[in-house]
Amino acid sequence: MSTAAALPVPGPRIGLLGWLTTTNHKHIGILYMTTTLGFFALAGLMALVIRADLTVPNHPIVGRQTYAELFTLHGTAMIFLVIAPFGLGIANYILPLQIGAPDMAYPRLNALSYWLFLLGGLVVMSGLLTRDGAAAAGWVAYAPLSTTGSPGSGMDLWIVGLLMVSASSIMTAINLIATTVLYRAPGMIMWRIPVFCWDMVVTSLLILMAFPPLAATLAMLLIDRRLGGHAFDPSQGGSAVVYQHLFWFFGHPEVYVMVLPYFGMITEIIPVFSRKPVFGYTAFVLTTLAIAGLSMAVWAHHMFTTGAVLNPFFSAMSLLIAVPTGIKYVNWVGTMWRGSIVFPTAMLFAVGFLLNFLIGGVTGVMLASPPIDFWTEDTYFIVAHMHYVLGGGSLFAVFAAVYYWFPKITGVMLRESWGRLQFWLVFVGFNATFWPMHLLGLWGMQRRVVTYPALPGWGAANLVATLGSAVLAVGVLVFLWNLWVSLRHRVPAGPDPWGGYTLEWATASPPPEFNFETIPPIRSERPVFDLHHPRASS
Amino acid sequence: MPGGATLQAGDIHHVWNVFFLAAIGVAGTVYILIFWCILRYRRRSNALPPQFRHQAVVETACAVAALLIVAGLFALSYAAEVRIERTDPRPAATVRVTGFDWSWRFEYAGGGPTVTGTPDHPPVLVVPAGRPVHITITSADVDHAFFVPGFLFKRDAMPGLVSSFDLVVTRPGTYRGECAEFCGLDHAAMNFTVSAVTPQAYEQWLRTQRTAGRLLQFHGGRPQSRPAGAAASGVGAP
């Protein structure tokens, strides 16, 4: 802490014009993260209305059109505007620091990416202001429901907005790869970059493979809708099945775009708070590559019930992807094994990730079996599964990452007392909301319904889910309060409040404009640990 | 979870049971290990713990175990799927199911009746219990899915695609059916009922339907055997 006093006053005061024109990776990272927080609040409010609507059977509180817009925008925002871009945002800030670089490889491209992302998100949401309302065909926008079935301009705005977001993601992916390949500090060979950086490189490769097909599919949708195209019109030789293939060819790699960065983040956090190196660094990197490769060949497991795909192939590939994902648990448990573990809020959320993601993981293995899909596809079982992956998994890792890197980014600590309270509220609220949905799905409650009949158990399970969502919402309010309080009454963090391993902890908090005065020698993936424990590292 | 009411559902439920037990076994083991670490390896002193980085035997053993588990699960799931998708060359009834915004049309092959529903009057699919029923399915407008929770089974109804499957309902009774693929405003109201009756009662029902159809035609009424969904099927078009 004593060195912190000598460092420049934290908080980049660059003014409005500065924020609008910045090309500094740290400012852009902050812009990304605060923007995703805004979209998260919006999409979270939508989810609360959805849950309120489903509280009791046969008593919807919103209209059918409004309900369809709500679940469409909730899914779209959480996926395209929150979980995926938060990973890119935090990578923007942290990745150059972790590899010892002064900035991203292409700073102006980086700024363009951010502004395209913000604009795209606003364009998607602007559908709410149109006469016919926003897009209402679900986040998957299956044709022909999204073409002939959705005449309103909200659907066009959704398509154009997501085209911008996909262009933005492609540029950021190129930037992250180029930065990691070209701008590593001397000694930082690829087998020494932190696992988070590896995961961002692999995520970027997945973006480069998955987002161009998405952009092409969105363009085809727009052409079908406005320029008289027939790509997805069965009466003119187009195909509704092909739409699903194209969409999921993007959509399943996208799941890993929303998961791999968070694997990386908690694999930074768990070793530091266990005071051990990551267990099986090489295995971790190889399994990340294996997941990425396999994820390009599992898309049609979203189509097992169409009767139009080679189910056994996609079933086998989907089951296979459980192997490298399972090895990650060997990495995480092995890292904690015989460690010396402390549990600040960041570590609590990381452990919460391990517990929740495991449930999403094993239900994912079930869903790799076509016969089980015949039963559970498009029911609340799927809703439960994917919220355990993306909410209980990725979102918990978002909170872990915020608590872990907030001191680096702002120079001040978040309050641990509020943090612990938030963790327990979010953990209990999350599980109360989504665990009953497994049962609802097995009982036959289908997705995307505005209301449901009063069948045995349905009312009770939905009531528990709605109450859970209220607890979850209180947890998020505590988080926002914690951000506010911690920024108002500043507790200086110093350069390295956690005993961190990676290079971002070898500079001031927040770091100076070009990040480093000096860089310690890099002889492993945790140079700062080596610096402080010269004897422990062989 | 109770099993389903068809021969095919028996296989589905069996696959579920095995996957569920495997999931409980694997997740339970990992949970125990995680909680062991949390409780046993809390920081008690400032001494640096052992800094080991690899344990090739453990890593390889876990990978091989995971591979064996998923290989076994695949074999089970694949064998079940083959049985579920097997179709009888001589079904007791063949029905063409068409989903449209927002109800269903059931056309019985061989000059049988056509039943068309509306969101307010969900149609009933009458089938003979204990006999193979062959169903071909498509959609007149957007994607739908024919889902009977009591059969643990669904199949998508998609425009421009006709797919088919068999059902053998083992227990007579009525079963709630719903649309499982979001298809627009009245998605939640796109329900139907499957009524499985004895083969004798089924033959009887077919005969009454034929007579009723002829009578309606004779009296100039709206015959049920006409595709009454013709108007409704255009709803999805602009």
A342–B236 C-beta distance less than 8 A: no
Distance from CA of B205 to the nearest CA of A (A): 29
Question: For residue A69, what pLDDT is reported?
Answer: 97
Residues 6+ apart with CB under 8 A from A334: A279, A280, B55, B58, B59
Would you give the distance in Å from CA A424 to the centre of its chain? 21
The count of CB pairs under 8 A between chains A and B is 253
Q: Pairing state of beta strands B103-108 and B132-139?
A: unpaired
Indicate the residue of B26, B66, B182 with minimum beta-carbon distance to A448. B182
The 10 Å Cβ neighbour count of residue A474 is: 14
Which residues in B lie closer than 8 A to residue A451 (C-beta atoms)?
Answer: 188
Would you give the distance in Å from CA B130 to the centre of its chain? 18
Per-residue pLDDT of chain B (238 residues; tens, 9 = 90+): 568 999 999 999 999 999 999 999 999 999 999 999 999 999 999 999 999 998 999 999 999 999 999 999 999 999 999 999 999 999 999 999 999 999 999 999 988 999 999 999 999 999 999 999 999 999 999 999 999 999 999 999 999 999 999 999 998 999 999 999 999 999 999 999 999 999 999 999 999 988 876 665 555 444 444 333 333 333 333 3
For chain A, report the end-to-end CA distance as a whole number of angstroms: 29
Confidence of residue A9 (pLDDT cuts 50, 70, 90): very low
Query: Token pair of A368, please?
Result: 């790799």
Question: For residue A12, what pLDDT is reported?
Answer: 53
Query: Token pair of A6, please?
Result: 């000598």
CA atoms within 13 A on the CB side of A475: 25
Residue with tokens 């059918």: A64
With CA atoms as reference, the chain A residue closest to B44 would be A340
A375–B152 C-beta distance less than 8 A: yes
B62–A145 C-beta distance less than 8 A: no
- The CA-CA-CA angle for residues A267, A201, A257, to 5°, reads 75
Indicate the residue of B41, B158, B186 with minimum beta-carbon distance to A340. B41
Q: According to the CATH classification, is domain A2-532 in 1.10.287.3510? A: no
Interface test with A, best of B73, B154, B175 (most A CBs within 10 A): B154
**Please, are residues B131 and B199 in contact by the beta-carbon 8 Å criterion?**
yes
With CA atoms as reference, the chain A residue closest to B66 would be A323
Q: Find residue A446's DSSP bridge partners.
A: A379
Indicate the residue of A241, A358, A378 with minimum beta-carbon distance to B180. A378
Distance from CA of A237 to the nearest CA of B (A): 8
Q: CA-to-CA distance for A301 and B76, rounded, in angstroms?
A: 17
With CA atoms as reference, the chain B residue closest to A338 would be B41
With CA atoms as reference, the chain B residue closest to A305 would be B155
Distance from CA of B190 to the nearest CA of A (A): 10
**Please, are residues B143 and B181 in contact by the beta-carbon 8 Å criterion?**
yes
B152–A374 C-beta distance less than 8 A: yes
Which residues in B lie closer than 8 A to residue A454 (C-beta atoms)?
Answer: none
Q: Pairing state of beta strands B132-139 and B93-100?
A: parallel
Which residues in B lie closer than 8 A to residue A537 (C-beta atoms)?
Answer: 51
User: Could you report the per-residue pLDDT of A220-240, keeping only the tens digit for each?
Assistant: 999 999 999 999 999 999 999
Question: For residue B215, what pLDDT is reported?
Answer: 61
Q: CA-to-CA distance for A524 and A359, rounded, in angstroms?
A: 34
CA atoms within 13 A on the CB side of A339: 27
Give SS3 for A347: helix
Question: For residue A42, what pLDDT is reported?
Answer: 98
Which residues in B lie closer than 8 A to residue A530 (C-beta atoms)?
Answer: none
User: Could you report the per-residue pLDDT of B158-182, keeping only the tens digit for each?
Assistant: 999 999 999 999 989 999 999 999 9
Indicate the residue of B12, B34, B137 with minimum beta-carbon distance to A333. B34
Q: CA-to-CA distance for B146 and B97, rounded, in angstroms?
A: 9
With CA atoms as reference, the chain A residue closest to B151 would be A375
Give me the count of residues in chain B.
Answer: 238
pLDDT at A144 over 80: yes
Distance from CA of B99 to the nearest CA of A (A): 13
The mean of the pLDDT values for chain A is 95
Helix (H) or strand (E) holding A216: helix A195-226
Residues 6+ apart with CB under 8 A from B102: B119, B179, B183, B184, B185, B186, B187, B189, B190, B235
Mean pLDDT over A281-295 rounds to: 97
Question: For residue A243, what pLDDT is reported?
Answer: 97
Distance from CA of B230 to the nearest CA of A (A): 16
Q: CA-to-CA distance for B177 and A215, rounded, in angstroms?
A: 37
User: Could you report the per-residue pLDDT of A112-133, keeping only the tens digit for each?
Assistant: 999 999 999 999 999 999 999 9
Domain boundaries, chain A: 2-532
Question: For residue A3, what pLDDT is reported?
Answer: 42
Question: For residue B218, what pLDDT is reported?
Answer: 54
Question: For residue B132, what pLDDT is reported?
Answer: 97
Distance from CA of B6 to the nearest CA of A (A): 12
Give me the count of residues in chain A.
Answer: 538
pLDDT at A284 over 50: yes
A148–B70 C-beta distance less than 8 A: no
Mean pLDDT over A473-479 rounds to: 98
Distance from CA of A225 to the nearest CA of B (A): 11
Q: Which amino acid is at A476?
A: V
Give SS3 for A120: helix
pLDDT at A13 over 50: yes
With CA atoms as reference, the chain A residue closest to B38 would be A341
B182–A145 C-beta distance less than 8 A: yes
A234–B159 C-beta distance less than 8 A: yes
With CA atoms as reference, the chain A residue closest to B84 would be A371
Enumerate domains of chain B plus CATH numbers: 7-44+52-85 (no CATH), 93-227 (2.60.40.420)
With CA atoms as reference, the chain B residue closest to A135 would be B184
Distance from CA of B36 to the nearest CA of A (A): 9
With CA atoms as reference, the chain B residue closest to A244 would be B143
Single pTM value for the model:
0.94
- The CA-CA-CA angle for residues A471, A473, A479, to 5°, reads 110
Q: CA-to-CA distance for B37 and B45, rounded, in angstroms?
A: 16
Which residues in A lie closer than 8 A to residue B41 (C-beta atoms)?
Answer: 274, 336-341
Q: Which amino acid is at B117?
A: G
Q: CA-to-CA distance for A371 and A317, rounded, in angstroms?
A: 16
Categorise residue A336: left if φ over 0, alpha if ψ from -120 to 50, beta otherwise.
alpha
Question: For residue A59, what pLDDT is reported?
Answer: 96
Question: For residue A446, what pLDDT is reported?
Answer: 97
Confidence of residue A399 (pLDDT cuts 50, 70, 90): very high
Query: Cα–Cα distances in Å, from A164 out to A161, A211, A375, B175?
Result: 5, 11, 37, 46
Question: For residue A7, what pLDDT is reported?
Answer: 42
Q: CA-to-CA distance for A221 and A213, rounded, in angstroms?
A: 12
Question: For residue A511, what pLDDT is reported?
Answer: 95
Kindly tell me the sign of the dihedral angle through the C-alpha atoms of A405, A409, A413, A418. Answer: negative
A149–B34 C-beta distance less than 8 A: no
Question: For residue A427, what pLDDT is reported?
Answer: 98
For A30-33, which contacts have Cβ atoms below 8 Å and span 24 or more sequence positions? A30/A93, A30/A409, A31/A89, A31/A114, A31/A118, A32/A85, A32/A86, A32/A88, A32/A89, A32/A90, A32/A92, A32/A114, A32/A117, A33/A86, A33/A89, A33/A90, A33/A93, A33/A402
User: Could you report the per-residue pLDDT of A496-522, keeping only the tens digit for each?
Assistant: 999 999 999 999 999 999 999 999 999
